C-alpha cells in the first residue's frame, strides 16, 4: 500500500517513517511554505533529503511558496502559537498532501505533524479525515507522540546526527 507522508523535518520524519515502513510503501512529501527564513527551510530540506537518500526512501519536494502561506493565514498573524493560525497551517499543508496523493496514485496519506508535543493531533486527524473524504483517499489517523513517540524521535535524531530546530517553522512561532 502506497502512503504519502507529509514531512516537516528529518527529526520528525525518521521515527514516523520507521513506524510506517512495515505496513506501507512510504514516500516523503516536503511541503512547508510556512518555514522561515528561507535558510531554515533549506537546512531542514537538506537534512531530510540526506535521510531519504541514505535509506532509499522516495522523496518529493513541493515548490517553496511562502507568499501563498502568508496570504492563507492573513488576519491570523497575532494568534498565539497553537491557535487558529496553526489550524489553518495544518489544513493548507494537509490539503496539498492529499491533492498530490490523489493525482499521483497514492491510496493513503498522513503527516508527521502529530509527533510534536506542540501540535494538536485531534485537529490534524479531523482535517485529514475531511480531506480523505474530499479526495477519496484513506487518511491514517495518528498521534505519533503517543507511546513515547516524541522521545523515540529525539533518540533517532541523536543517532542520525540530525539538525534539530528550535521552533515550529513560521516567523510567528519563532517570535513566540
- Residues 56-75 pLDDT 10s: 999 999 999 999 999 999 99
- Residues 46-59 pLDDT 10s: 999 999 999 999 99
DSSP 71-109: HHTTT-TTSPTTSHHHHHHHHHHHHHHHHHHHHTT-SEE
C-alpha cell at 39: 535558510
Percentage of the chain with pLDDT > 90? 84
pLDDT at residue number 36: 93
Whether pLDDT at 171 is above 90: no
Indicate the average pLDDT of the chain: 94
- Residues 19-55 pLDDT 10s: 999 999 999 999 999 999 999 999 999 999 999 999 9
Reported pTM? 0.95
Amino acid at each position: 500500500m502506497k502512503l504519502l507522508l507529509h514531512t516537516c523535518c528529518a527529526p520528525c520524519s525518521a521515527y514516523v517513517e520507521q513506524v510506517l515502513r512495515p505496513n506501507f510503501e512510504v514516500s516523503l512529501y516536503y511541503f512547508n511554505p510556512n518555514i522561515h527564513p528561507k535558510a531554515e527551510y533549506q537546512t531542514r530540506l537538506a537534512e531530510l533529503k540526506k535521510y531519504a537518500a541514505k535509506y532509499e526512501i522516495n522523496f518529493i519536494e513541493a515548490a517553496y511558496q511562502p507568499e501563498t502561506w502568508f496570504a492563507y493565514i492573513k488576519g491570523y498573524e497575532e494568534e498565539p502559537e497553537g491557535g487558529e493560525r496553526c489550524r489553518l497551517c495544518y489544513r493548507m499543508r494537509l490539503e496539498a498532501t492529499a491533492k498530490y496523493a490523489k493525482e499521483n496514485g497514492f491510496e493513503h496519506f498522513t503527516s508527521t505533524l502529530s509527533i510534536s508535543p506542540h501540535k494538536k493531533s485531534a485537529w490534524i486527524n479531523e482535517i485529514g479525515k475531511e480531506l480523505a473524504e474530499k479526495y477519496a483517499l484513506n487518511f491514517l489517523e495518528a498521534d505519533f507522540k503517543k507511546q513515547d513517540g516524541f522521545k523515540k524521535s529525539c533518540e533517532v535524531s541523536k543517532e542520525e546526527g540530525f539538525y534539530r530546530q528550535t521552533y515550529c517553522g513560521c516567523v510567528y512561532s519563532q517570535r513566540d
